[in-house]
Amino acid sequence: DIQMTQSPSTLSASVGDRVTITCRASQSISSWLAWYQLKPGKAPKLLIYKASTLESGVPSRFSGSGSGTEFTLTISSLQPDDFATYYCQQYNSYPVGFGQGTKVEIK
């Protein structure tokens, strides 16, 4: 199985900060990577798919990059609505796997 590892596990930041989250795969997954935002009690939200394609309706302050084994999610200017937990997911092969999550907290 492909292992997905995110860093950091927790990130403290202020409104307006640039935030970067890293996701590493234990073997190459080409560009078959998605990013999701989770908030307690709400439906998870797809942000990015195919490593860098922004899902329709997602603000342009979110961006994704990378290929192979190393990927990043960047929020260019953190907004109050962005405080949440973020997960990467590989869909290169079964079983589908997720990172352990990165919680973005208010500094």
* Interaction site with other proteins (CB under 8 A): 32, 34, 36, 41-46, 49-50, 55, 87, 89, 91-101
In whole angstroms, how close is the CB of 24 to other proteins at the nearest point?
14
Which CB atom, from 24 or from 45, has the smaller least distance to other proteins? 45
CA distance 86 to 101: 5
In whole angstroms, how close is the CB of 74 to other proteins at the nearest point?
19
Helix %, strand %, coil % of the chain (to 5)? 5, 50, 50
CA distance 58 to 34: 13
Which CB atom, from 17 or from 55, has the smaller least distance to other proteins? 55
In whole angstroms, how close is the CB of 52 to other proteins at the nearest point?
13
In whole angstroms, how close is the CB of 69 to other proteins at the nearest point?
17
For residue 13, give Cα distances in angstroms to 24, 40, 69: 22, 19, 26
Which CB atom, from 13 or from 58, has the smaller least distance to other proteins? 58
Which CB atom, from 66 or from 97, has the smaller least distance to other proteins? 97
Q: Where are the alpha helices (DSSP H) in the chain?
A: none
Cβ 85 vs Cβ 6: under 8 Å: no
